[in-house]
Structure 1
Amino acid sequence: MLVLPDDAPVGRPLRDYLGEEILEIDLTPDMARCLSMWGIAREVQALTGGSLHLPEDVDASGGEDSAEEYVSAQIDDSDLCQRFTGTVLRDIEVGESPKWLQDRLSSAGMRPINNIVDITNYVMLETGQPLHAFDYDLLVARAQKLGDSRPTIIVRTATEGEKLETLDGQQRNLERSMLVIADKAGAVAIAGVMGGGETEVHEGTRNILLESATFDGINNRRTSQTLRLHSEASHRFTRGVPASLNEVAARRAADLMQQFAGGRVVPGQVDTYPVRQPQVQVFTSRSDVKRLLGMDLSLSEISSALQRLEFEVEELSELPENASERARFGLALAEGEPVISATAPWHRLDVSLPADLTEEVARVVGYDKVSETLLDTVLPPQRRNAPLETEENIRDILIGCGLQDTVNHTLTTPENHARLAGTGRGRASIGEGEDGEGESDSSRFISLTNPLSPERRVLRRNLIVSALENLAYNLRFKDRLAVFEIGRTYRPQAERGGHANGGISESKLPEEDRRLCIALRGLREPHPSNPSSSEQTDFETELFDFFDLKGIVETLLERLGFAQSDYLFSAHPESGADDAISETMFGPRCALISLQGEELGIVGELHPQVRSAFGLGGERVVLAELNIEPLVRPSWRLSQMAPISVYPPVVEDLAFVVKEEVTQRRLRDAIVDGGGRDGDPRLTSVELFDIYRGESLPVGCKSLAYRVTYQGMDHNLKEREVNRLRQRIIRTVERATGGTLRA
């Protein structure tokens, strides 16, 4: 409800009476300078070519005394507080603000309080500089209790266990990293966030200390987030406030306070400015602007655009030798080409590189003036990203194997990790600690301070937990699932002993590993060699098992360029810490995978109790989790391509009778060895197409039939050549396996 004054004309349209049109401007983070009317006015002036009319900078002070007689100030850390300016006003009268001022604050979404507080808020909206007014007499009373005649303002970080009641009536527990405004008695405000209740301005206030300061944006943002206390002041400090604005905004506020609260502005300001904000000089050129924009602008056009934004511009015949590396970073400059030196105005904290100047030129000239042109510069050399290429190769290979790529939540719960413990003995997964007790202990996880959901409050320690959550969800829609995920796992630094220097990182960043997880559940697909058969085979009715997943992993490793001798599947050890893996997460079908002597991961069938804990039904689930880093090493090698023969191949089928204990791989290796002896390239393909066991064969024997392809690279193979190759294969098979050619 809006209460109008008694003299409001009855019958007049409310819109006409209020007379305010409000523009809501949605700013991007890089436009923090426009969080004020002055900033927006500068932008409009630059884009329209109009003139800029800012309020006159008035020094309203008067009297024979000075601000230094009333208060002193010190900054303990100039990195966190670049500047502190204090202004003293005496004999003011706190009351209501003028209606126009209240209306403007209300239009901006701020609640009018009293003339002093309203003016600090109004000047913040006008200039972009947050201000805060302290009751000066309350500060004096605090100082006198300690035997001092005047207060000393100290900008410092909070002490251990320090507390402060803020203006909203909340008791805040401060941390040592938080910056506060304090006197010798303790904190009186959280710097750049909110003032303290003990020294706030009230109806009986007669003297005030007006604070205008510049605080570090990163520290301010962390403080605001930690305390969950967002304010208009912290919104601006987080994005950057120029230190040069302090005294200008303070004088503007003091002038308005004298007009609408009476009293006197004490001459001078207590101004502590340890490290002054340097002027930023940046260089650009016609070539650089053209390189980035594709527009061929003259030096005068570039200079004019920058001058409209209040840059001090000078045309130089050459780049100065003392130009800083940042001021000329990436600058494109032809031999003997003149350059433009541009000094940024004090209110522009976002300009430091030549590319920044080009962006400003583009904004003023107009993005609609940028024409489409072909790139006329040489592209920078591209560096190969072996890890990324490997991950893309892995995706292609696994999708080719019939699996679906998934992206799962990296957030889960400690309870879901505890479910992986199955029987309750041992740890849940490879890479976990040496005992499973306390699997849900929060110290073993990277926890969120402010989780959006109780189901997403810790970062996962392995990918298997995410895969099982995925299976449990999707089993509501389909029975057959064959999925994989490439993602990160997270563990506290302490579990790996910190960094190489023996300490734990101060940033407390987690250890992150890129890993691959594969999960299979449900029926196999029809065999690709017989996709249209109306009769179901064993292959079609059987469930995925350990050997299906083992075959997928073998295919992956071989397609990535590893030889069969590089990797090894080994049964899980019967004792030791790692025994917990097979006894808890996995059943008896479980194997560790090593690659070139280094542990790569694990593949196995999920333990029935774990399967039940995740609600996955009675059908078996097989899983694998691999470390991706060892897979990167050979993937960068270029594939060696063989020429394609233009001569027709010769294809024949060879069936060998061997004993049951002879494996298919052993027999195939013998065929390849016989046909390709001494590097003979004429044997091009060996494919198993039939396995037969029957009464026509000797007891304890089986028949393996292979389709063998011969092909010459430079001529048609003659029959005698094929016969010699065949006989060589038969002799090698007999010698290596004891097998005979089946009639």
Structure 2
Amino acid sequence: MVPARFSMKVPLTWLAAYVPLILPLEELARRLTLSVAEVEDIVYTGPWDEHVRVGEVMKVEPHPNADRLRLVTVNLGSRQERVVCGAPNVAEGQKVAFGEVGARLISGKTGEPMVLTPARIRGVESAGMVLSEKELGLSDEHEGILVLPPDAPVGRPLREYLGDVVLELSVWANRPDLLSIIGVAREVAVLTDQPLHEPTVAYPEHGPPAAERVRVHIADPDLCPRYIGMVIEGVRVGPSPAWMQRRLEAAGMRPINNIVDITNYVMLEYGQPLHAFDYDAIGGRAIIVRRARPGETLVTLDGEQRELSADMLVIADAERPVALAGVMGGQESEVSERTTTVLLEAANFYGPSIRRTAARLKMRSEASTRFEKGLPAELAAVGARRAAQLMAELAGGRVAPGMVDVYPGRREPVQVRVPAARLRGVLGIEIPPERATAVLRALGFGVTTTPEGYLVDVPYWRPDVHIADDIAEELIRIVGYDDLPTTTICGRIPPPIRQPQRELRERVKDILAAAGMQEIMTYSLVSPEQLRRVVPPEELERHPPLRVANPLSAERSVLRTSLRGSALETLARSLRVRRGETALFETAVVYLPRDGELPEERETLVGVIGGRRLDRWDQPTDEAVDFFDAKGYLEALFERLGLVPEWLPAEEYGLLPGRTAAIRVDGQQVGVVGQVHPDTAVQFDIEGDCFLFEVRLDLLTELTQRRREYRPYATTPVVAQDLAVVVDTATPAAAVLRIIRAGRYVVSAAVFDEYTGGQLPPGKRSIAVRVLFQDPTRTLTDEEVATSRRQIVAHLERELGAALR
């Protein structure tokens, strides 16, 4: 599943380029956490001590005793040091990182921490070192020294020049604007009442218009509301500037080359993912945004060949797919050192489609994460222009006039009416109109005052704002939750409203868990195929389940009308890893369709039992569970609920005839229990016998709410007698028990034995019943017990044709 929050790394030096940072670090983090997004961590980069400084190479001389070594004189501002250096790229005039004696570094040979000490190398003293990226812990590069930009201040500690502080923000899914440095800067500007300095975007245009250089067609506008293409020719692919590399690394991205780095830089700066194609690798000079075709494959930038399916959105040229839309580009059209013309893509894609593709191919990226959150289509043009500007400035590119902008998903700007009375009612305080207007405008909202309140124009980068209550939230998070007055409750606290069905549900869970069953929780959305295994076909045809309009998968496409399928699937998985007795239950709602109305939401209990019985060491035996194990759990449940069930023979779809019983309480059928039919069990890959019970909790709620009278425990003796009753084989024991329990003075009756064959005629069986007689007020005489016994026998003979054995 996609996480509800995403981590955004915000380097303070980058943030400071757009807004003055006037607060101490800890106070800034506190205010961001209270008003914007939680600051999960503060990371200090560049962990070098004061012995690592910026130096300038003044002189490079040959080593007198080694051809591959040189003597380098380094200016440190207040003094100069001469050290031995073996790097091939050292040259006079370079700014370098210099390690003095005592500096804590990383060994270039072993990769282990080390402390720099004076050394004598081939007969020459060396009190220091010109450092590589590996020795500074910046990368694994050790072939040459790190060369700093010409403006690096000589003698200054390197941590002050290259070091940074990074705030890690936890951004909720409804705020994709915070997945950008400028988005965070906008919030900081409002919180600290400082101006926001966004980059000025301008660049010269040259040559034929972009519309003459490339053609764009969107075949599926629902999945791609906007696609922009720009052409930049004459680019020189090489390393990006050091300042850009530092910002990217601090934000958690690896520099690659100037073109790719610019697309990543703008994505982090504005939140708009971009992609750069090698223009000469695009067949037919055409871009087609379409679904993948059966059998198509794509080798992505990571070198993996991906098999595509028809629900994946691709960027294709006139011949083949060249990128997975919103996820990753293709290897054949990637920018390389030979690239001279770039086709820049800035698009807007449908988030759920990108999420499904990324999840299926297991390749979530920074770009796909942003598209999944739902970016505004207007952001695409902003990102495209900014990237074109940087490619012109940093790669020598010439931008073709205009852009190819296909925009079928254009939406109207959002405007929200905000009554002042609504703000007072929601917040409980009065925010002065001047203050409210200033806050909203600083956040980018357009505000017009009206007699009733405000008319607010929502900026394109805030797709989460729709109603007046959203505006109230914006105001109070900036004004400060601390300003909300603390008030006591004025009236009496109302008593809690009883919820009998919820109370019963919790009691049922406690009882069954105490009896040894395990609770499960399964999805309410299931597949049609699962329902066909457990629901009669005619029932599905007469009342088909409700379908989800846009399901994430076929396995979660309909609302279930039965819990049985989910329970049996879970039992099958459990039995594959555990041979011992497995008893599972679930209480949940099923959704029963009703013509022209909302579905009936019926609270239901289901239980499934399978496997082998356990011995006293919890090891499985050779004895399989049976019908009476399932029935035993239900008997424990009904006894604790104070209900007396009857078990009557029944037939039920998916259960085995002859081993299925309907459950009746007070003359009302409340459920069923039985062995799962082997044909049904096979469909769920269950080997061996398994048993299932299903009970309507809505009916049990009514039965348990009936008024009951308290009866004190009887202190008089109980008289126990056994009755062996011969009845037809087809007569259920429940019928015998019902008559016996109706006898005078009878307080309990239970079957303890059954006998067939021997002296009994064919078609007959003997049921032995233990009967308890008692009167709560006095001791029964032998005659009273005998009279009650004769009456019971007479009723059995009259109603069932029974006889005493």
Category of TM-score, reference length = shorter chain: 0.5 to 0.7
**2:316 paired residue number:** 182
Q: Equivalent residues in 2 for 1:562-601 (5 A)?
A: 564-565=645-646, 567-569=647-649, 591-595=659-663, 600-601=672-673
Distance 1:578 1:668 in 2: 25
Task: Spell out, residue by residue over 1:41-83, the C-alpha distance to the aligned partner (whole angstroms, 9 max, x if none).
Answer: 111122222221101132x133464222222222222211111
Task: Spell out, residue by residue over 1:362-396, the C-alpha distance to the aligned partner (whole angstroms, 9 max, x if none).
Answer: 321223444555678999x999795x666434324
Q: Given the superposition, is the C-alpha separation of residues 218 and 390 from structure 1 closer, same or farther in structure 2, using an over 3 Å criterion?
A: same
Q: Is the 8 A contact 1:167 1:195 kept in 2?
A: yes
**1:345 paired residue number:** 459
Q: Is the 8 A contact 2:740 2:749 kept in 1?
A: no
**1:118 paired residue number:** 261
State the AA in 2 paired with 1:108.
Answer: A
Cα drift, residue 298 of structure 1: 5.3
Q: Which residue, 327, 336, 350 being the options, matches 1:216?
A: 350
Q: Is the 8 A contact 1:224 1:230 kept in 2?
A: yes
Q: Equivalent residues in 2 for 1:214-253 (5 A)?
A: 214-253=348-387
Q: Equivalent residues in 2 for 1:368-407 (5 A)?
A: 368-371=482-485, 373=487, 391-398=505-512, 402-407=514-519
Q: Is the 8 A contact 1:593 1:603 kept in 2?
A: no
Distance 1:199 1:369 in 2: 56
Cα drift, residue 207 of structure 1: 2.2
Task: Spell out, residue by residue over 1:512-571, the C-alpha distance to the aligned partner (whole angstroms, 9 max, x if none).
Answer: 9962135795689xxxxxxxxxxxxxxxxx999865753442453577797645x42579
Query: Any idea what SS the aligned residue of 1:279 has?
Result: coil
**2:146 paired residue number:** 4
With 33-42 and 301-310 compared, the bigger mean Cα shift is at 301-310
RMSD over aligned Cα atoms: 5.3
Instruction: Tell me the matched-pair count.
Output: 579
Query: Any idea what SS the aligned residue of 1:24 has?
Result: strand
Query: Any idea what SS the aligned residue of 2:167 has?
Result: coil
State whether structure 2 residue 674 is matched by structure 1 residue 602: yes
Query: Any idea what SS the aligned residue of 1:52 has?
Result: coil
**1:639 paired residue number:** 705
Task: Spell out, residue by residue over 1:320-369, the C-alpha distance to the aligned partner (whole angstroms, 9 max, x if none).
Answer: xxxxxxxxxxxxxxxxxx34332211111111233322332332122344
State whether structure 2 residue 164 is matched by structure 1 residue 57: no
Q: Is the 8 A contact 1:484 1:518 kept in 2?
A: yes
Q: Equivalent residues in 2 for 1:538-549 (5 A)?
A: none
State whether structure 2 residue 693 is matched by structure 1 residue 626: yes
Distance 1:274 1:288 in 2: 36
**2:747 paired residue number:** 686
Distance 2:648 2:714 in 1: 35
Q: Equivalent residues in 2 for 1:311-326 (5 A)?
A: 311-317=445-451
State the AA in 1 paired with 2:674.
Answer: I
With 23-32 and 634-643 compared, the bigger mean Cα shift is at 634-643
Query: Any idea what SS the aligned residue of 1:198 has?
Result: helix
State whether structure 2 residue 585 is matched by structure 1 residue 485: yes
Q: Given the superposition, is the C-alpha separation of residues 515 and 551 from structure 1 closer, same or farther in structure 2, using an over 3 Å criterion?
A: closer
State the AA in 1 paired with 2:518.
Answer: T
Cα drift, residue 182 of structure 1: 2.0
State the AA in 2 paired with 1:165.
Answer: V
Query: TM-score, normalized by length of structure 2?
Result: 0.60
Q: Which residue, 207, 218, 236 being the options, matches 2:341?
A: 207
**1:516 paired residue number:** 607
State whether structure 2 residue 167 is matched by structure 1 residue 31: no
Query: Any idea what SS the aligned residue of 1:210 has?
Result: strand
Distance 1:32 1:564 in 2: 57
**2:105 paired residue number:** none
Distance 2:281 2:344 in 1: 13
Q: Which residue, 723, 728, 736 being the options, matches 2:795?
A: 736
Q: Is the 8 A contact 1:294 1:372 kept in 2?
A: no
Q: Is the 8 A contact 1:658 1:737 kept in 2?
A: no
Q: Is the 8 A contact 1:89 1:263 kept in 2?
A: yes
**2:758 paired residue number:** none
State whether structure 2 residue 441 is matched by structure 1 residue 307: yes
By relative contact order (CA 8 Å, sep 6+), the higher-ranking structure is 1
Query: Any idea what SS the aligned residue of 2:394 has?
Result: helix
Distance 1:62 1:523 in 2: 84
State the AA in 2 paired with 1:568.
Answer: L
Distance 1:100 1:248 in 2: 22
Q: Given the superposition, is the C-alpha separation of residues 76 and 635 from structure 1 closer, same or farther in structure 2, using an over 3 Å criterion?
A: same
Distance 1:174 1:671 in 2: 70
Question: Structure 2: which 5+ runs fail to align?
Answer: 1-133, 139-144, 524-532, 538-552, 557-564, 596-602, 617-622, 679-685, 754-765, 799-805
Query: Any idea what SS the aligned residue of 2:169 has?
Result: coil
Distance 1:466 1:227 in 2: 25
State the AA in 2 paired with 1:553.
Answer: L
**1:155 paired residue number:** 289
Q: Is the 8 A contact 1:27 1:34 kept in 2?
A: yes
Q: Is the 8 A contact 2:751 2:767 kept in 1?
A: no
Q: Which residue, 81, 85, 89 being the options, matches 2:228?
A: 85
Task: Spell out, residue by residue over 1:448-482, the C-alpha distance to the aligned partner (whole angstroms, 9 max, x if none).
Answer: 99xxxxxxxx9873454466578758xxxxxxx99
**1:276 paired residue number:** 410
Q: Is the 8 A contact 2:604 2:698 kept in 1?
A: no
Distance 2:710 2:303 in 1: 82
